[in-house]
Amino acid sequence: MLKKTKPASQTNPTANANSTAHATGRDKWLGHLAMLLFAVLIAGSFSIGDQAAPHIAPAALNSVRFFLAALLMGIAAFALTGKIPRWPQSPWRFVVLGGLMAVYFVLMFVALQITGPVSTGAVFTLIPLMSAGFGWLFLRQKTRPTVMLSLLVAAAGAIWVIFRGDVDAILGFEVGRGRQSFLWAAPAMPLTPRWCANSAVASQRLPIPSIRSRRSVCG
């Protein structure tokens, strides 16, 4: 009799780390629509944040935001499952994730106190390229050449806006305090999902890097 063997993805949780599954059909369109909605919400957050930034300290504002978010998510989890959310395994991972998001949002509002939403949004455009870099660094995910070319073109446009089209400013790296603050914040955003997927690999409990596994690791 032939012995039935399991696929490598089941026997070795890290086997999928070097391969990327691409959505097709309806799932692909839903993914694009979700990212379009995400882009709209992000673009609006800079304009709305620019109006709120002068009136309240960044740390105080984000403390209220995080508290309300945790409260509402806890209520939603109880309403959907009928159970009180249990204490998570390896809670230190949540400290890291929460710290990354806190760094991002606090420095974003610090930047908005100094510079405008257009400049801050231009810096945000560099995040997809950072995400590709972190994906390779932590998960050894390879970006397709056409996608990488698109990311590089978008990043070049963002750099042109950040430096106001001034070649001398680019060469001298004259960023400005506001943009510099957000440049420190920007890497925290793409690091968050990469950290989730990398934690899944390390724990050897989840097949990564699907969206579901990231949600499971991140809670």
pLDDT confidence tier of residue 194, bands split at 50, 70 and 90: low
- What per-residue confidence (pLDDT) applies to 207? 40
- Element housing 109 (H / E): helix 92-114
In this structure, of 23-32, 55-64, 113-122, 203-212, the range with the lowest mean pLDDT score is 203-212
Q: Which is more confidently placed, 91 or 63?
A: 63
Please tell me the pTM assigned to this model: 0.67
- What per-residue confidence (pLDDT) applies to 211? 37
